[in-house]
């Protein structure tokens, strides 16, 4: 299919779902669009089975979208930069300890716990899957989605410090999760016998700290460049350029693209670019990136919904998908509780926040994109279907109930006082 036709169809479908949600459903954007896209895909599959060719264009659109490539190589950088640029850096500095703990130790713990639990539960129901593939599954579903959770908690009664922790964690854990996923994927390819721990640790350090270094340098440089000019068009182009530079440079140098882009966004947006001769340039730039964030978010979750057309075998994995949902929630809860137990005095969170932080661990399009990037193996369909079930449950069920949980928890506290 011609590239322009693919883009045109995708934009038209996004506009249609967005209008239906805004006009009739009035659900939070992420949840409503995801639900409509999934419903549309299910109707398409049903209609195609009865009347082949009726939903031809929607089927062709789904089959021609290279979801993994588009998300990981194109959209991810812009989405993460937008979220980082608009994040309050002063608040982030105050909550940096829990943010770093949850985005590093938390992701590693969640991956290990999920992989271990899945390995034993799969054995109990006579499903044979190697332990390394269980860990690989855990690595791609452990990171939370900054776009989805940000849209959901925007109008809740969540305290400022907890909102910053959730937003900051979801920004950084994408990078850690992606590096961990790549490391485990390499082990599955080369085998555990040829696994070199020292080399793996050095590559991990290179990707993480190298990505942060190039992001910090380019982010600070872009801030100085934007501050030195008055033309808003030039300011926007510089901000777009820094995202593309980090995506290309980090990929070429084998560094973490998410960490590079997030760091650049934090440095570029940490201070106002407004000079004495300029008015509201920073505020206008924030609105620009907020619009980019919302548009790409809509497109992303429409594409997630359309992927159902490409996964006809997903109906064979609903039991293991349900097990995966329970296990990722348990792993998330334990990965928050364990560090909190040992470091409670140095963290600005308490045990009452564990359930909220667990339920706020919303997964999104990145998990699907990573699952789709898996090479062919006997376990690919198992992992891909399980990831899809987890993401759908996470966005729709957790998304619809998260604000109620938050508002109920803090309403009870207000009543008690």
For the CA atoms of 269, 272, 273, 277, the dihedral, rounded to the nearest 10 degrees, stands at: 170
CA-to-CA dists, residue 311 to 17, 80, 183, 386, angstroms: 21, 27, 26, 12
For 190-244, write each residue's pLDDT tens digit: 776 666 777 778 888 899 999 999 999 999 999 999 999 988 999 999 999 999 9
Q: Which ranges constitute the DSSP H helices of 86-196?
A: 89-94, 96-103, 105-124, 131-141, 146-153, 160-190
Number of Cβ atoms within 10 Å of the Cβ of 138: 31
d(CA 57, CA 76) in angstroms, rounded, equals 26
Over the chain, what is the mean pLDDT? 88
d(CA 157, CA 155) in angstroms, rounded, equals 7
pLDDT score recorded for residue 24: 94
The closest alpha carbon to 170, from 345, 305, 366, belongs to 366
| Cα angle 67-72-77, degrees, rounded to a multiple of 5 | 130
pLDDT score recorded for residue 49: 75
Residue 417's pLDDT band (cuts 50, 70, 90): low
Tell whether the torsion through CA atoms of 335, 340, 342 and 348 is positive or negative: positive
Number of Cβ atoms within 10 Å of the Cβ of 333: 18
pLDDT score recorded for residue 302: 92
State whether CATH 1.20.1530.20 applies to domain 3-411. yes
pLDDT score recorded for residue 195: 67
Query: Could you tell me the two tokens for 84?
Result: 């980082």
pLDDT score recorded for residue 415: 56
Percent of the chain's residues with pLDDT above 70: 93
Domain ranges in the chain are 3-411
Average pLDDT over residues 405-414: 74
Tell whether the torsion through CA atoms of 104, 109, 110 and 116 is positive or negative: positive
pLDDT score recorded for residue 276: 56
pLDDT score recorded for residue 330: 97
Half-sphere exposure of 210 (CA within 13 A, CB side): 17
d(CA 48, CA 53) in angstroms, rounded, equals 6
Backbone angles phi, psi at 305, to 5 degrees: -65, -40
For 265-301, write each residue's pLDDT tens digit: 999 998 888 865 556 788 999 999 999 988 998 999 9
d(CA 141, CA 390) in angstroms, rounded, equals 8
Higher pLDDT, 157 or 224: 224
pLDDT beyond 60 at 408: yes
Query: Could you tell me the two tokens for 78?
Result: 């812009």
Note the residue count of the chain: 417
**Which residue carries 């593309």 as its tokens?**
244
The closest alpha carbon to 153, from 8, 18, 29, 299, belongs to 29
Entry pTM: 0.91
d(CA 357, CA 144) in angstroms, rounded, equals 11
pLDDT score recorded for residue 29: 80
Average pLDDT over residues 170-195: 84
Number of Cβ atoms within 10 Å of the Cβ of 258: 31
């Amino acid at each position: 299919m011609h590239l322009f036709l693919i883009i045109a169809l995708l934009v038209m479908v996004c506009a249609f779902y967005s209008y239906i949600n805004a006009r009739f459903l009035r659900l939070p954007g992420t949840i409503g669009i995801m639900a409509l896209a999934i419903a549309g895909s299910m109707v398409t599959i049903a209609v195609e089975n009865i009347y082949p060719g009726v939903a031809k264009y929607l089927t062709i659109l789904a089959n021609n979208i290279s979801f993994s490539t588009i998300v990981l190589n194109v959209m991810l950088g812009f989405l993460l930069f937008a979220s980082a640029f608009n994040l309050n850096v002063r608040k982030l500095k105050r909550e940096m300890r829990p943010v770093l703990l949850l985005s590093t130790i938390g992701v590693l713990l969640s991956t290990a716990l999920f992989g271990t639990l899945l390995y034993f539960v799969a054995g109990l129901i006579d499903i044979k899957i190697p332990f390394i593939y269980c860990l690989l599954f855990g690595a791609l579903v452990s990171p939370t989605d900054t776009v989805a959770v940000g849209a959901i908690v925007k109008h809740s009664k969540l305290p400022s410090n907890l909102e910053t922790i959730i937003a900051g964690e979801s920004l950084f854990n994408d990078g850690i999760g992606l590096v961990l996923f790549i490391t485990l994927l390499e082990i599955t390819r080369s085998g555990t016998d040829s696994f070199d721990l020292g080399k793996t640790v050095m590559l991990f350090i290179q990707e993480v700290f190298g990505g942060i270094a190039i992001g910090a340098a380019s982010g600070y440089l872009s801030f100085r460049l934007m501050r030195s000019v008055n033309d808003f068009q030039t300011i926007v182009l510089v901000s777009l350029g820094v995202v593309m530079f980090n995506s290309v440079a980090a990929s070429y140098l084998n560094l973490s693209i998410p960490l590079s882009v997030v760091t650049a966004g934090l440095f570029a947006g940490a201070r106002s670019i407004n000079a004495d001769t300029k008015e509201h340039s920073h505020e206008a730039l924030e609105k620009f990136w907020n619009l980019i964030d919302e548009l790409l978010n809509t497109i992303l979750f429409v594409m997630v919904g359309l992927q159902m057309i490409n996964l006809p075998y997903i109906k064979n994995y609903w039991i293991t998908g349900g097990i995966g949902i329970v296990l990722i929630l348990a792993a998330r809860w334990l990965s928050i509780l364990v560090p909190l137990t040992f470091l409670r005095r140095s963290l600005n969170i308490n045990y009452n926040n564990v359930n909220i932080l667990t339920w706020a661990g919303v997964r999104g399009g990145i998990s699907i994109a990573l699952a789709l990037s898996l090479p062919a193996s006997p376990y690919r369909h198992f992992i891909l279907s399980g990831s899809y079930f987890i993401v759908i449950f996470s966005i729709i069920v957790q998304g619809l109930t998260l604000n109620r949980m938050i508002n109920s928890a803090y309403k009870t506290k207000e009543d008690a006082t």
